Amino acid sequence: MANYHVSLDLFIAVHYVSRQRWLISLKLFRFLTANICVVHCFPGDARSIFHRRSVVVQKREHTEVRQQQIVDAAAILIFKYGSEHLTVKKIAAEVGISEAAIYRHFKSKKSIITFLLSHIEEVLLKDISPETVAGEPVTLDVIEKIVRAHFSTIGVRKGISFQVIAEIISLGDKKLNKQASRTIDKYISRLHELLSDGVRDGAVREDIDLEAAATLLFGLIQGLVNIWSLSEGKFKLTEKYASLWRVYREAVAPR
């Protein structure tokens, strides 16, 4: 296919008409550019490319990718240096773009952190989703398997999610703290749901306080991750978790 070049001064649109006559049409150019497409018309072959829809889709995909890059960079910087040292300038340097490019996607540093918290919430809840065991009885072995897999992914992510939440809370911003609190509440509720399913299927004690049991399991997970992070990953999360789970299991298993 021939290559077509657009000049800022003049564009010549060549349109094939009846009996192989070619017409130079500036009006056609104006129509085409208004609709964001360039039309190549050849004998027996009329095709349109660069449609508005494809351009919009590509732009949206590019925006989502860039936003994710910015948020990932913010998480890494918070993890390495603490939330108080996070700046838009440092985020831009980490991503390799200008500060102006950051502001095209986010209004402020706070909006970046808000987006980051939403992303962390999505990741954490997905890890412990009951959907992973849909259709099968929820036994204590199943719950242990879900939490163990959760620790494995936490290890891969180097515990960033929990550490970033802790760092964001340390900022003392009321709005961000409320968002972080909602994330933790949803996380504990997901654990509560797992344990409730365990009660339903006879794997967890019926007389147990599910809210307390879910909160205790959350404390077990977050506490172990904190110790592991402070030790710079000197032990395997899944191995240390095994001994803690045995103690927890004794507390929630039917008598």
pLDDT tens digits, residue range 176-231?
A: 999 999 999 999 999 999 999 999 999 999 999 999 999 999 999 999 999 999 89
| 51-106, CATH topology level | Arc Repressor Mutant, subunit A (1.10.10)
Q: Which of 7-16, 79-88, 192-201 has the lowest mean pLDDT?
A: 7-16
Is there a shared CATH topology between the 51-106 domain and the 110-252 domain?
A: no
pLDDT tens digits, residue range 187-198?
A: 999 999 999 999
Domain ranges for the chain, please list them: 1-50, 51-106, 110-252
Task: Give dist(CA 225, CA 159) in Å, integer.
Answer: 6
Is the entire prediction scored with pTM above 0.85?
no
Q: What is the dihedral of CA 179, 183, 185, 188, to 10 degrees?
A: -170
The pLDDT score that the predictor gives to residue 112 is 96
* Cross-strand pairs, 167: none
| 110-252, CATH topology level | Tetracycline Repressor; domain 2 (1.10.357)
Smallest CA-to-CA distance from 70 within 27, 123, 122, 107 is with: 107
